[in-house]
Each structure stands twice: as structure tokens, then as C-alpha cells.
Chain A
Amino acid sequence: MAARDTFSAVVSFVAYGLLLALVWVRLAAPDVALTEAAIGSGVTGGLLLAASTRSRPTETPAAREKPGATLWLAAAILCTLASAGLAAIVLLLPEPAPTLAPQAAANIAATGLGNPITAVLMAYRAIDTLLETVVLLLALVGTWSLAPDRLWGGFPGPRHYADPDGVLSFVARLLVPIGILVGIHIFWVGSVAPGGEFQGATILAAMWILAMMAGLVGAPPVSRRWLRLVLVAGPAVFISIGLAGFAMASAFLAYPESHSKLLILTIEVPVTLSIATTLALLVAGPPERGPQQ
């Protein structure tokens, strides 16, 4: 936070994200560690790095708007109080700690899954995950709507040029096929081991972003029908199976016990594809080149 220019601050933020991922491993939450490293540090870091480079001319004028000493002091006192209050709560947490782990363990056999986190995400609290995929989609719609009228339906983000014999192209050619395999693997093992659709989708998205940055593939124009279909496929399948739950198991998003693993997989595959596409396009940003170019 104390770094002089925003670019350095973002680099520190990425390092902080990776350290935070190590903390999650220490807290016995490898699934969260994967998500933090992939999304919290990786994709967010890439997005902020690009933004800090593009908004660099605004830094010097903005830095002159420094707050006065009174505001600074008041903010310092307020934030110390907030931290102290939260610290007191941490120290005064009830003993023994309340936990839903036994309930999660008792019902995990019914889901056909081996990873309790995936069971929470896809079965016990599936409505959260459904809403989350919709939030991602809404963020993308919001980002796209920022395009000026004349560029609507155009290509997202600036065009990337890279030396075809350069390091970036080489890394992209070498890493992307491996990365895609790793992404699919992380997604697939998510049912029994740390991993899952968000982590896998992020790796797939990162590979697409890398290929776009190296100029190997271009971003598709946002008006393409297949693109829109891929984007809504995940939430649409999720909602349909959720509604089918009324007929099959008498509740929204309830799965009949005999088919739960199959149904969860049927949801997960399109959701992973939709999330990967949405994440990559969120990083690419609103359309900046007209549809005719």
C-alpha cells in the first residue's frame, strides 16, 4: 500500500495473494488456496497490472489530491478501531467452535462426491454457486455496456501484437496445451480431491488470456452468437436442472440420490466452460475495436 506508483503496488498485491494462498494451505483449506492463487492473485493481478499501465498518465494529477492531516488521522483512528474490534471478536470466539463439518460428512455419501467443499458448492449450497455464475455474467454485461455506441458488438480489448519468435509467443505455445490439460484435470479431480470448477475454469481462462496476449488467437467480437451461447450455457443448464429438481426430488436444486453425481457433472461441465469464457472476457474488457475491423 505504501508503494510509490500503482504498478509496484499491484506487483506487491500479486505477491501478497500468493502468500495468502500459502496461509490457506496452513489453514487446511487447499481448495481455497487454489482459488486464491488462481483468481485472487493471478487473474485479478493481471487485470490490475494492465489497468495500472493504461491509467499511468492519471497518477501524478491524482496523487496531488492527497487528503488533509485531519482526515488522515481520523481514518487512521477509525481503521485501528475496526481492526481492534475484529481482533477482539477473533479472540473471543466461542469454545467449542460451532461447526457444520459433521453434517457435511454425514450426507456426503448421498452426493456421490468425495470432496466436502465440492459437495457444499454443488449440493448443500448449490443456490450460492448458481447465483455466483449469474453474478459473473452480470459483471460481464456491465463491462460490455461501457463500450461506446459505435464500437458495440466489436472486439474486446486492445489488439495484442507479439514477436512470433519472441519469448512470449514461445511460452504461450509451450504452456497453453499443458495448461489446458492441467485445467481439465483440476476440474475433474474436484469431485474427490482439492480442485473444482472455479479453479479449473480459471486455469483454462488464463490459458486463453495468455494465447490472446501472445497474439496467437484474437478475442471474438462480443456480438457472436456462439460466444453468447457458451456464456449463458452454464447458468441455463444449472437453472434447468434446478427446476427439474421439483419433479425429481420435490425441491429446487434437489437431486435424486441415485443420480446425484451424474446430475452434478452435467451441471459442472457447461458451468466450467461458461466461467472460463466469462473470466477471460472480463479481463479482456469492453469492446474497443469496431466490428468491421
Chain B
Amino acid sequence: MSAATLYGLCGAILVGMGLFGLIVHPQPLRKILAFNLIGGGVFLLFGAVARRGAAAGFGGDPVPQALVITGIVVAFSATALAVALLLRLFQETGRATLRSDG
């Protein structure tokens, strides 16, 4: 098994772990963390695909690698917005919960 495949499998496991945390953890901040874990997993899958596409003297296919860089920055923007929403909810209600009856 090549290193790319191994890290691709790691990415698959990370996505599963993140998805589980997103569903099971009640705290919104944990959900944001889990969302980032899913992101990391998806990026690793891209990384595995990029590494397999090594050609023309490059260590990997530069197109998926550049997409991952874009993805990391966009994931950060989404995280920052989610954190701001969460803190505002806490400021406004004194609680931070996603329960609809809360």
C-alpha cells in the first residue's frame, strides 16, 4: 500500500469521526471543531489524489493541492463566522444551545 493510499484512508476515517462528533456532541463549539475535522479529512482525500497524480517532475498534481489551500482558507472563514454567531447567541441569551425549545 502506498503512502498516498494510507493517508487517503486516514482522511476517510477523519470524515467519519468528524461526522459522528457533529451529530453526537451537544455543545455548538464541539460541533464547529467536528466540522473542521471533516474538512481535514476531505482535504486529506484531495491530498491522496494529488499525490497519486505526481508527474512532470512535480511531487503531486498542483491543481488539487491549490484547491486544498483555497479550501483551508474558506473553512477558516466559515469557522470564524460560526464562532461569532455562537458568542453572540451566548451574549444575548446567556446560553449556547441548539435546542429548538430552549
Contact = CB atoms under 8 A, between A and B. Distances in A.
Interface stretch (A81-89, A179-187, A230-238): A81-89
A104 B48 CA distance: 18
A28 B54 contact: yes
29 contacts: A6-B33, A13-B37, A27-B7, A28-B60, A29-B50, A32-B72, A35-B68, A47-B80, A48-B83, A58-B27, A78-B19, A79-B23, A90-B5, A93-B48, A93-B49, A97-B49, A100-B53, A101-B55, A101-B58, A101-B60, A101-B62, A105-B57, A117-B66, A120-B66, A128-B67, A139-B80, A139-B81, A143-B80, A285-B84
Given A28-B60, A86-B12, A86-B45, A136 B77 contact: yes
B62 A24 contact: no
A117 B11 CA distance: 22
Contacts of A252: none
Contacts of A29: 47, 50-51, 59-60, 65, 68
List 3 A-B pairs, minimum CB-CB distance, nearest first: A28-B59, A83-B16, A99-B53
B73 A198 contact: yes
Contacts of A71: 23-24
Given A26-B7, A44-B76, A198-B69, A63 B83 contact: no
Interface string B86-102: 11101000011101000
Task: Determine the interface band of chain B, counting residues with CB < 8 A from chain A.
Answer: 35 or more
Contacts of A116: 58, 62
Contacts of B33: 1, 6, 9-10, 13, 48
A90 to B, nearest CB: 4
B97 A32 contact: no
Nearest to A133: B73
A105 B13 contact: no
> Which of A40, A117, A286 counts the most B-chain CB atoms under 10 A from its CB?
A40
B79 A90 contact: no
Contacts of A166: none
A55 interface: yes
Given A27-B3, A101-B53, A139-B81, A65 B99 contact: yes
Nearest to A2: B21
A34 to B, nearest CB: 9
Nearest to A139: B77
Given A44-B36, A101-B55, A55 B77 contact: no
